[in-house]
Amino acid sequence: MIQQKIIYTAEISLEVTNYEKAFEEVKRVVAKVNGYVADSAVDTGADGSKEGTIEIRVPASSFNEALEALVQIGKVKYKAEHGSDVTEEYYDLEARLANARKMESRLLELLEKKTNDVGDLLEVETKLGEVRENIERMEGRKRLLDDRLTMSTITINISEPHKYTASVFDPIKNSLRTCGDTLMRSLASLLEFLAGAIPWIITGLVFLWILIKLIKRALKGRGKTKHENYEDHEEIEPLDKAK
């Protein structure tokens, strides 16, 4: 009967009163089940509170035991467990790996045979290199699966509650911050409006300038016509007097 191959992982988020003490508790749990801390990182906020992430590896057989102990360390804010079934991939990989090793043995036998055909020899060596590269790739994947199947991964996020100190100036600070945000939004809206309106403003000014030019030219032409008519009238007057 085929043995099922499942990779177990989990994520936990805990709120604790003291990060350092909680970290020590995590290490005690890990040591108890013969696991180890694979990675850890911690960050201290402006208020002095700490928050960090710890990645641990525990034997798959002790996965549930480790989870039950870890949730006792602090207040559980989030918990998720995952099981990834890699049974088909694992046995398919084993079969392909066995076939590749058989092919490697046949090619080695061909190389051991004496032959005067250099072309055939080079072809066998090239094929042998490809087969060995494929074997190394499959062996690497199998080692990874074996590691994940043997040792489960649990990621723990540990955080202290934020320390907030109230102040009589908080309402003023909040009001100033609100006014500042409103002003910035208003300026941004104004700039956005101007960016869209400038082309239309320029077009309107150009049109207005052309219109003024045309009106001035029309008025100038009308004034010139009147002046000419007046001069003609003055020239006709002496003739009337002569009569």
Each residue's pLDDT tens digit, 76-124: 999 999 999 999 999 999 999 999 999 999 988 888 775 666 777 888 8
Name the token pair of 137: 């790739």
Least confident window among 45-59, 101-115, 204-218, 221-235: 221-235
Would you say residue 225 has pLDDT above 80? no
Unique residue bearing structure tokens 């945000």: 181
Smallest Cα–Cα separation from 79: which of 95, 66, 90?
66
Band of residue 74 on the pLDDT scale cut at 50, 70, 90 = very high
Rounded (5°) CA angle 97-103-104: 90
Distance of CA 38 to CAs 96, 128, 140, 153, Å?
Answer: 32, 38, 20, 9
Would you say residue 171 has pLDDT above 80? no
CB within 8 A of 77, min separation 6: which ones? 13, 14, 15
pTM of the shown model: 0.61
- How many Å from the N-terminal Cα to the C-terminal Cα in the chain? 143
